[in-house]
Amino acid sequence: MADIGRLQVQVYRVNTAIPISNANITVSRTDGETREQVTTLTTNPEGQTETIELETPEIERSLNPDNTLIPYALYDIDVTAEGFDEINIRGCQVLPRQTALQICNLIPTSLNREITEDEDVQVVRVIEIPPNVQFGDFPPKIPEDPNKALPPPPSGFVVLPEPVVPEFIIVHAGAPTNTAAPNYTVPYTDYIKNVASCEIYATWPEATIRANVYCIISFTLNRIYTEWYRSKGFNFDVTNSTAY
């Protein structure tokens, strides 16, 4: 029996907190092969749509560790706004009895579109959201020695005298040795929220969610405090690979 989840879309100008009003959003249900338009929405002066209810699988799927069926519904979100390039979000995950917040950062047309005398070259950004780690097929964590050596001389010590919660964090989108993978600078709090959203389900008990978030925070701060990657010559703090 189907359940109900909720979705709100929030639209901002890229790299700012400036909301974009009157953005047009199309929400479509997808199963990976077919798409069916569900509704259209418009953002208010705060850049937010109304919160809508959407059909999802039954909640028991996300609570059963032996479940093999997808526990969330997938929706595609297409966003357009005057003066900005279009963005398509593919595979937004909506869990039963929870509210999914999908943030869309739009790039001004003037920054991303080549304009000639003959035609405008339209740019459409497509963002594919991968499956949740609990359901998808991802490489396992590579074992590490829990007792890690400090950087060798002349350093001999970590730069930070104590763990510090940073404002921003640099994330490498790939394996550490993949030099073709890009780096992204994101707010630390957004990084923690995104990792939690990718690795656990919002339907779990609050105590379970808190325990997992504490682990994510601890692991991330350890990577920064020990300069795990920077001491090896890399220019980032963490990777997005589940193997590292």
Check pLDDT > 90 for residue 187.
Answer: yes
* DSSP string of 45-98, one letter each residue: TTSBPPPEEEEE--THHHH-TT--S--SEEEEEEEE-TTB-EEEEEEEEE-TTS
Same domain? 77 vs 149: no
Check pLDDT > 50 for residue 73.
Answer: yes
Q: Please give the residue range of the domain that contains residue 73.
A: 3-128
Same domain? 84 vs 160: no
Same domain? 72 vs 177: no
Please give the tally of structural domains in the chain: 2
Both tokens assigned to 226:
């020990």
Same domain? 81 vs 170: no
Same domain? 113 vs 160: no
Same domain? 138 vs 225: yes
Mean pLDDT of 59-72: 96
For residue range 40-56, list pLDDT tens digits in order. 999 999 999 999 999 99
Among 74, 98, 128, the domain-final residue is 128
Q: What angle do CA 233, 238, 239 make, to 5 degrees?
A: 100
**Higher-pLDDT residue of 49, 122:** 49
CA 156 vs. chain centroid, Å, equals 35
Q: For residues 103 and 42, what is the distance between their CA atoms, to the nearest angstrom?
A: 14
Mean pLDDT of 30-38: 89
Same domain? 8 vs 104: yes
Q: What angle do CA 171, 173, 175 make, to 5 degrees?
A: 105
**Higher-pLDDT residue of 77, 17:** 77
Same domain? 10 vs 99: yes
Check pLDDT > 90 for residue 201.
Answer: yes
Both tokens assigned to 37:
């338009």
Same domain? 83 vs 162: no
Same domain? 83 vs 160: no
Among 102, 128, 154, the domain-final residue is 128
Among 87, 109, 128, the domain-final residue is 128
What pTM was estimated for this model as a whole? 0.88
CA-nearest of 63, 88, 74, 105 to 7 is 74
Under DSSP, is residue 15 helix (H, G, I), strand (E, B) or coil? coil
Mean pLDDT of the chain: 91
Mean pLDDT of 189-207: 97
Same domain? 124 vs 7: yes
